[in-house]
Amino acid sequence: MSTVRQSVTRSQAHPPFFVGVDLGATNTKIGVVDDLGQTLSYRTIPTGAGDDPKVTVRQIAEEVLDTVHVAELQSPEIARIGLGAPGPMDIRQGLLIAPVNMPAWHNFSLRDPLIQHCGLPVTFANDAAAAAFGEYWIGAGRNLHSLVLLTLGTGIGGGIIIEGKSIDGFHSHGAECGHIVIDYHDDARICGCGRPGHLEAYASGRAIVKRTIEALDSGMKTSLNARMEHGAQLTPKLVADEAEAGDPLSLEIVLDTARYLAVGIVSLMHTIDPDSVLLGGAMDFGGPNSPLGRRFLVTVRQEVRHRAFPIPAEQTTIEYAALGSDAGYLGAAGLARAEVYASRQP
């Protein structure tokens, strides 16, 4: 899906200014953002998840300051930095607890070293919560009072925004939407976190691969076999491509994923009653610009209407997110902005 990054010059921008940092296991995105959510400068750098995190944080801080310089700003002109990172985490302490794909970063104090290196205050957030806030602030949810964002990829992340507040929870484990239990049976699928029956075990990219392997092992006919015999790797993208080309098994895998996802969405709707549920992340099956992506979304909506109370079933919108991979750094900057404005209130 295309992103909506909008570059503006210093003279075109509206102060105050913020920096958004989206820390990932592979890459870290950094953007300088103005008060309207417009980007003045942006860069992506390798994270080095297996490297010494202390060294990496120092490098990120240097890149932050350089990105500010490229935006033709001085550090004192930056009101605050927003930092999104993968959980689990302790938001109050600024601590990464056990990010799944970053073992070297377990129990690492992330926020305070960035404060020290940059000399600027930092708002610390879960990366999916930051992405959700980006959509709420300037994306697909910009005219809404509340939303849930599900980020679909290797796993399933989640963010919940209600009246401008990110629902982080008392233990910093709020909005772990991918870990809603949708199957309580003894033989439920095991999630990547090691626990049974979670939504992520059924509707994530990792789950698509596992379910497809099971179907192949059962001897079901599919064009996937020919693709893999010619060297293609079994990925959600390959399944989506073959579904788009008319392979019945691949299409069944994709639409079953939509149905599993809908079960989790109904639980969220009945708990939170949001204005909208947005689907983001890399695994969007082509999104609104693809026939398969549109069919996936229609199937989610149909299954939700079948299972949800009538009023939320009719009035809660379910759409694709709008900001693509930019949502994380934009939302992190937006959360920093929200904290600055909250501190100014009497």
Which pLDDT band holds residue 59 (cuts at 50, 70, 90)? very high
Residue 104 is which amino acid? A
Per-position b or e across 258-279, b if 16+ CB within 10 A of its CB: bbbbbbbbbbbbeebebbbbbb
CB 266 within 8 A of CB 305: no
Task: Inform me whether the pLDDT recorded for 3 exceeds 50.
Answer: no
The per-residue pLDDT for 346 is 73
278/167 Cα distance (integer angstroms): 16
Which pLDDT band holds residue 49 (cuts at 50, 70, 90)? low
Task: Inform me whether the pLDDT recorded for 182 exceeds 80.
Answer: yes
CB 335 within 8 A of CB 21: no
185/308 Cα distance (integer angstroms): 22
Least confident of 3-17, 125-139, 293-307, 310-324: 3-17
Number of alpha helices (DSSP H) and beta strands (DSSP E) in the chain: 11, 13
Tell me which H or E stretch contains 136.
helix 127-138
Task: Inform me whether the pLDDT recorded for 2 exceeds 70.
Answer: no
The per-residue pLDDT for 6 is 64
Task: Inform me whether the pLDDT recorded for 209 exceeds 90.
Answer: yes
Task: Inform me whether the pLDDT recorded for 41 exceeds 60.
Answer: yes
Q: What is the pLDDT of residues 6-18, one digit of tens each?
A: 689 999 999 999 9
3-state secondary structure of 254: helix
Give all domains of the chain, ordered by start, each with its CATH number.
17-135+325-344 (3.30.420.40), 143-321 (3.30.420.40)
The per-residue pLDDT for 7 is 85
Which pLDDT band holds residue 5 (cuts at 50, 70, 90)? low
Q: What percent of the chain has pLDDT over 90?
A: 93
The per-residue pLDDT for 1 is 40
Give me the mean pLDDT over the 18-30 stretch: 95
1/101 Cα distance (integer angstroms): 24
Give me the mean pLDDT over the 34-44 stretch: 97
Task: Inform me whether the pLDDT recorded for 187 exceeds 60.
Answer: yes
Peptide bond into 46 cis (omega under 30): no
Give me the mean pLDDT over the 181-189 stretch: 97
Which pLDDT band holds residue 294 (cuts at 50, 70, 90)? very high
Q: DSSP label at 1?
A: -
3-state secondary structure 157-217: EEEEEECCEECCCCCCCCCCHHHCECCCCCCCCECCCCCECECHHHHCHHHHHHHHHHHHH
Residues in Cβ contact with 192 at an 8 Å cutoff, skipping those fewer than 6 apart: 100, 154, 155, 200, 201, 204, 206
Q: What is the pLDDT of residues 246-292, one digit of tens each?
A: 999 999 999 999 999 999 999 999 999 999 999 999 999 999 999 99
Q: What is the pLDDT of residues 144-172, one digit of tens each?
A: 999 999 999 999 999 999 999 999 999 99
Give me the mean pLDDT over the 104-121 stretch: 97
Which pLDDT band holds residue 216 (cuts at 50, 70, 90)? very high
